[in-house]
A and B are shown apart, each in its own frame.
Chain A
């Protein structure tokens, strides 16, 4: 009964590969996000979807493509992986875009590109 679940938890892959990370929330929230946390622990927004519609797309290489089949799911596909993509990727959701409840984060996917 995890609120925001991401898979896989760990992902080790070679440069140039394509990989996907999946995220699902069972909280009934309308808004979902992808954040990247680098080795210096800086948490940076990548994308935000509100009820399946893309509303935030930060300066992210177009190798990263989010997909939201419904408001409970937000997946992240990464093409042609590079060493610099190594980081922890967090999915999050919230009931209102930026309301008083804060985000509920998934447990993160630690991506290592070798």
Chain B
């Protein structure tokens, strides 16, 4: 099976930087995704990492260490609209992605 852990809730201030961690245990690892989900809406794809290292995409960056079973999503210059749930999802070569429980981020003025 797969175990995916991420913090349940985080709070940060507008304009700040926040790092959301995700640890996982799996077999047949085939990549790690981050999704953003606003309340009452569908998840939307943010990033994908399959090799170790940092992937940067504007204000958002995602990091992966396969040997440690660890990833993080880094959000810079936080905006109020970044308040949402952030879902870590691990893909396997069995052809499916398993999602963590999500981290609810609240951005305060």
Contacts and interface: CB of A to CB of B under 8 A. Distances in A.
B51 to A, nearest CB: 11
A50 interface: yes
Nearest to B90: A98
B95 A97 contact: yes
B97 A42 contact: no
Given A42-B101, A43-B87, A100 B50 contact: yes
A107 B41 contact: yes
Given A105-B44, A107-B42, A98 B93 contact: yes
Given A42-B99, A56-B96, A103-B97, A98 B91 contact: yes
B98 A45 contact: yes
A50 B96 CA distance: 11
A48 interface: yes
Contacts of B41: 107-108
B42 A90 contact: yes
B70 interface: no
A69 interface: no
A101 B101 contact: no
Interface of A: 31, 33, 35, 40-45, 48, 50, 55-56, 90, 97-98, 100-108
For the complex of A and B, the 8 pairs showing the least CB-CB separation, nearest first, are: A102-B45, A105-B42, A98-B91, A43-B99, A97-B95, A100-B48, A56-B96, A98-B30
